[in-house]
């Protein structure tokens, strides 16, 4: 069965495709209007996006709502990660807000809430987190969004290969849980 990927973020799309492919899912993209993300949690927003895409296309739809939560900023930008500052200035804004903040106070984590909504109204939800810290400067060209300022050990996510990122990222973890739940769901239907 085809599943539609409900995202307008090109970086996420690449990750969705490589995480869904090994599950044997035929993931397609379609031009679907972006719904307003009015939820108060990552999970609520993921559901809003998946439900809108499912209703529009009549196909099961997979969405993710994700973001970076910085301890020193009381969890910001969090669910507002995509709207935190002007496009192109988001990483710099985080770095500026943490200027002079010592390493031990630079803790941060990424969250990914995945939701799949089926045309019959069923839904599967999964969530993944990964913990690290905000680097002192942007490093690495890989990935997207805040990857080049999010550091685990000595390397930023921007310095990881795709496989390395998937093995430890919030989205990799969320999709691993999603895969288990999807298998159980589909077996129950068989």
**Which of 169, 136, 116, 123 is closest to 4 using CA atoms?**
116
> Does 132 sit near ligand ITT (CB under 6 A)?
no
Q: What residues numbered 44-63 form the site for ligand ITT, per CB under 6 A?
A: 49
SS3 per-residue string spanning 27-51: EECCCCCCCCCCCCCHHHHHHHHHH
Residue 71 appears among annotated catalytic residues: no
Examine residue 81 and tell whether it contacts ligand ITT (CB under 6 A).
Answer: yes
Catalytic residue among 64, 65, 147, 166: 65
Check binding of 66 to ligand ITT (CB under 6 A). yes
Q: What is residue 77's DSSP assignment?
A: B
Q: In whole angstroms, what is the distance from residue 47 CA to residue 37 CA?
A: 10
Dist. CA 79–CA 129, nearest whole Å: 13
156 binds ligand ITT (CB under 6 A): no
Ranges within 2-41 binding ligand ITT (CB under 6 A): 7-9, 12, 34, 37
**Cβ closer to ligand ITT: 25 or 174?**
174
Q: Taking the mean position of all CA atoms in its chain, how far away is CA 2? A: 21
Q: Which residues bind ligand ITT (CB under 6 A)?
A: 7-9, 12, 34, 37, 49, 65-68, 81-82, 110, 143-147, 169, 171
| Residues that are catalytic | 65
């Amino acid at each position: 069965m085809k599943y539609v990927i409900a995202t307008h973020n090109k970086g996420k799309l690449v990750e969705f495709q490589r995480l869904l492919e090994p599950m044997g899912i035929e993931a397609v993209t379609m031009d679907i209007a972006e719904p307003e993300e009015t939820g108060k949690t990552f999970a609520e927003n993921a559901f809003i996006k998946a439900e809108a895409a499912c209703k529009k296309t009549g196909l099961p739809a997979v969405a993710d709502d994700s973001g970076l939560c910085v301890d020193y900023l009381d969890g910001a930008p969090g669910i507002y990660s995509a709207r935190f500052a002007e496009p192109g200035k988001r990483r710099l804004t985080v770095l500026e807000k943490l200027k002079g903040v010592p390493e031990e106070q630079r803790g941060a984590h990424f969250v990914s809430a995945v939701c799949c909504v089926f045309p019959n109204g069923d839904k599967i939800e999964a969530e993944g987190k990964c913990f690290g810290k905000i680097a002192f400067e942007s490093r690495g060209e890989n990935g997207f969004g805040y990857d080049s300022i999010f550091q685990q050990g000595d390397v930023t996510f921007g310095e990881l290969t795709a496989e390395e990122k998937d093995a430890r990222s919030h989205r990799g973890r969320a999709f691993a849980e999603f895969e288990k739940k999807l298998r159980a769901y589909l077996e129950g239907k068989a």
